[in-house]
Homo-oligomer: A and B are copies of this chain.
């Protein structure tokens, strides 16, 4: 008699398993979910506010989970002031969100009325890249003042992305930033990556992003 050998192709770790549960839960509400990552101060919250305001007239409802390392509600307050629900996660000094934190936040948020869920990760170009949260797409906000060498120095976060937002293009006249060099670095890591050049301050480029996003939304 030959022993049967079972080959397990991919053993999910605890985070991946929970992330899949989160995704299933989000799918049941027909909500499109985004994991939004960036350096500190690249403009994640401004980008969320521009998205909320840009889709408000269309009746699109956006819920936000805000990740911060400290117990502050600066960003959540801005989201709620824009008329949308927000849940704050305080990571207690931890440098990234994980699927367990998002699971806990989902318990505080009524997904059913939401068309979009945006999870604003902790400001960090390194650690968040390694953790699936259960969202549908990873979006990174890069920013002009950060410099054009970031894809070369922080490659991991650029590899697993669906969309790249290059923010603060209104500052291009005042900063030495070689857009071709930046894009060449991104192209090596993630060929053909969907990219939008925007300024959350002036509104430039936001409409193109909103058109992309609207095409992704499931029928409620």
Contacts and interface: CB of A to CB of B under 8 A. Distances in A.
Interface of A: 39-41, 68-70, 72, 74, 93, 95, 122-127, 143, 145-147, 149-150, 152-156, 168, 170-171, 174-175
A145 to B, nearest CB: 4
Contact of A145 (B122, B125, B145, B155): B145
Contact of A147 (B41, B72, B146): B41
Majority SS of interface residues in chain A?
A: loop
B95 A154 contact: no
A190 to B, nearest CB: 14
A69 B129 CA distance: 13
Number of copies: 2
Contacts of A152: 70, 72, 74
Given A39-B39, A40-B146, A146-B41, A124 B122 contact: no
Contacts of A125: 40, 123-124
B154 A74 contact: no
7 contacts: A39-B123, A70-B152, A74-B153, A93-B126, A124-B124, A171-B175, A174-B174
Contacts of A123: 39, 125, 153-154
B124 A70 contact: no
Nearest to A146: B41
A153 B95 CA distance: 12
Given A70-B152, A145-B168, A171-B171, 6 more contacts: A40-B150, A40-B153, A41-B147, A95-B95, A123-B153, A124-B124
